[in-house]
Amino acid sequence: MRLIRLLPVAALAVLLAAPAAQAQGHANVFVGSNFSGDAGRSLSSALNDGSRLTWGGAIGGTFKGIFGGEVDFAYARHFYGDDDVLGNNYVLTLMPSLIVGAPIGGESGPGFRPYGTAGFGWIRRDLSVAGVEAIKDNDLGYSIGFGVDGFATTHFGIRADYRYFRTVSADESSNIVGISLDEGNFSFSRGTIGAVFRF
């Protein structure tokens, strides 16, 4: 559990150290869908009706294409649905994450890189029902996932990504820093596809 607490610090350290170590940077812009868990839809249903749309981006860097970190941001308007009674509900996530990949084809030219990722950061929810505020909170949460970057050139490629998000509970009496890593009751999955740029 201590490792999970250190993930944001470790990811930030990787990003700050990247220029000095001549690591390779990357940026990703994506669009996709939230599904399962509290999103209330299967992936096929969400894709068929266009609901649970999410979009965002990430920026980070890797050493030799293997170890690295990134900060992932995503915004999902109408996370709980687009019925008029639900208003402009949304879920926003901001997750510093660690990445471990396998650069097949090297760090330049065509190639692809499967990877795994784990993050720890911020999940914000907002939901009103018939004009009455039902949920409005900011929670700590974690993400785990995997994906693949497929590069057509040294600097441009396509990323397909899956991540699972879940909140953790905060309990001021649990320990000195006020964080208990008991699993929270809010979770969902996210599947995205987007453009990835290496620099």
List pLDDT tens digits, range 19-48: 445 689 999 999 999 999 998 888 888 777
Structural domains of the chain in order of their starting residue, each with its CATH number: 2-198 (2.40.160.20)
Answer with the residue of higher pLDDT: 49 or 61. Answer: 61
Q: Quick one: how far is CA 108 from the chain centroid?
A: 25
- The answer, yes or no, to whether residue 18 has pLDDT greater than 70, is no
Give Rg (Cα) of the chain.
Answer: 18
29, 82, 137 from 126: Cα distances, Å:
24, 13, 7
Predicted confidence at residue 159, as pLDDT, reads 98
Answer with the residue of higher pLDDT: 123 or 17. Answer: 123
Listed range (74-78, 105-109, 168-172, 174-178) with the worst mean pLDDT: 174-178
Q: How many of the other CB atoms lie within 10 Å of CB of 175? A: 10
Mean pLDDT computed over 80-97: 90
According to the per-residue pLDDT averaged within each range, which of 11-15, 143-147, 182-186 is highest?
143-147
Distance in angstroms (rounded) separating the CA atoms of residues 72 and 94 = 6
Distance in angstroms (rounded) separating the CA atoms of residues 8 and 120 = 6
